[in-house]
Amino acid sequence: MDRPLRLTIDKTSLAQNWRTLAERAGVPAGAAIKANAYGLGAREALHTLAEAGCRDFFVSIWAEAEELGPLPEGTNLAVLHGVGPADMEAASRSNARPVLNSVEQVARWKLAGAGRPCDVMIDTGMNRLGLRPEEVGALDGLAIDTLHSHLACADEDHALNGTQLQRFREIAGSVQARRYSLVNSAGIYLGRDYSFDLVRPGLALYGGIPRDEAQAEIRQVARVEAQVVQRRTIRAGESCGYGATFVAEADVEAAILNVGYADGYLRGFSSRGTAFAGEFALPVLGRVSMDLIAVDCDVAPSLGEGDWVEIDYDLRTAAEASGLSQYELLTTLGSRFERRWV
């Protein structure tokens, strides 16, 4: 059935961003495809990136691993949250490796993992997931494929970056693993000192700009479009939408669009978002509703019912307009969109 809102995902740009990031890092790049590939579609992202040459994929939980279905030839998958008490059954059915995050998870894997390879996360200063450096003695006897750590502040010039790099170097010198991996998208732009053997981008694959350095080379991947439900004239002095927060100073033409906060177009865009009809910019008028928004279409006299307009979803400018992070902008995109991979 035709849907009145659509998300178009550009495979060529996704693959190109992956190549750009690997080239920038100077080492192989994996791909974080957790959270349904940041809202875009995990299976399609997996197959598109595998075709481009990506071999290493990451999800957060075992249900995500299962939903991917069979992996393409030559690729491998790791589950970032490791194995909790209830995960061993799913883990033993799966070909994916857990990323072990605590002494408890290590013990669980040693007991039931039958010597299968695993990854390990070391906490070098973020205090989210991972073994503390002084706990690495617990790793003796594990077959570690990739030893990871994760930067807390890679999108900023923060002193913790250098501290975490130094700590990870020390750990890498004392713990045996096939590969070592430290950085996400933003960390790739801190320089090749941070690359080790494998980088783990997510956001920048999908068009996010994690640091200024990425702006010139990362391409937009996802485009959001919505159909006009109706066109109307808001007369001078009248308001539009919940809370009557927009009041027309003079008569204004409005197009009511088939997208709202239930689709992930959150209320931060109220009176701040923009849509485009061709090159005409159409500012959002008043509050975003659950399923609808109103935009000023004075500049587009022929725009009417059934026409498509593009919502400005350039991640950097949309983040600035809405106060949402680029991660939130992608991962909240809802299930009502027709997702078209082109």
Ligand X SMILES: *Cc1c(COP(=O)(O)O)cnc(C)c1O
Taking the least distance from each CB to ligand X, the nearer of 6 and 150 is 150
Q: Which stretches does DSSP call E strand in the chain?
A: 5-9, 31-32, 56-59, 76-79, 97-100, 118-121, 144-148, 179-181, 222-234, 239-240, 246-247, 252-257, 274-277, 280-283, 293-296, 308-311, 338-341
Work out how close the CB of 130 gets to ligand X at its nearest, in angstroms, rounded to a whole number: 9
Residue 97 makes contact with ligand X by CB under 6 A: no
Number of separate helices (H) and strands (E) present in the chain: 10, 17
Least distance between ligand X and beta carbon 32 (Å): 4
Select from 45, 54, 79, 80 the one that contacts ligand X (CB under 6 A): 80
User: Minimum CB separation from ligand X for residue 183, in Å?
Assistant: 8
Q: Pick the catalytic residue: 180, 242, 261, 265?
A: 242
Beta carbon nearer to ligand X, 150 or 223: 150
Whether 11 is catalytic: no
Active-site residue, 242 included: yes
Using CB under 6 A as the binding criterion, the count of chain residues that bind ligand X stands at 11
C-alpha distance from residue 152 to each of 155, 174, 183, 198 (Å)? 9, 23, 10, 18
Residues 151-210 that bind ligand X (CB under 6 A): 184-186, 200-203
Nearer to ligand X, 121 or 297 (CB): 121
Whole-angstrom CA distances from 77 to 155, 174, 259, 300 are 25, 25, 34, 48
Nearest to ligand X of 125, 202 (CB atom): 202
Please tell me the distance from the alpha carbon of residue 318 to that of residue 264, in angstroms, as a whole number.
Answer: 12
Of 53, 61, 58, the closest CA to residue 32 belongs to 58
Q: What is the CA radius of gyration of the chain?
A: 23
Which two three-digit tokens encode residue 241?
């939408």
Site string for ligand X, 22-41 (x = CB under 6 A): ----------x-x-------
Least distance CB 311 / ligand X (angstroms): 22
Residue type, 65: A
Q: Binders of ligand X among 219-238, rule CB under 6 A?
A: none
Question: Whole-angstrom Cα distance, residue 141 to residue 138?
Answer: 9
Q: Which is nearer to ligand X, 29 or 293 (CB)?
A: 29
Considering the complex, state which of residue 25 and residue 32 has its C-beta at the smaller distance from ligand X: 32
Q: Which of 24, 47, 97, 150 binds ligand X (CB under 6 A)?
A: 150
User: CB of residue 151 vs ligand X: minimum separation in angstroms?
Assistant: 9
d(CA 103, CA 272): 47
* Least distance CB 200 / ligand X (angstroms): 4
Shortest distance, position 85 Cβ to ligand X, whole Å: 21
Q: How far is CA 253 from the centre of its chain?
A: 36
Please, which residue, 189 or 261, has the CB nearer to ligand X? Answer: 189
* 317 Rama class: left (phi>0) / alpha (psi -120 to 50) / beta: alpha
Burial (CB count within 10 angstroms: exposed 0-12, middle 13-18, buried 19+), residue 241: buried
How far apart are the C-alpha atoms of 61 and 198, rounded to whole Å?
21
DSSP state of 29: B
Q: Which of residues 302-331 bind ligand X (CB under 6 A)?
A: none
Task: State the catalytic residues.
Answer: 34, 242
> Site residues (CB under 6 A) for ligand X?
32, 34, 80, 150, 184-186, 200-203
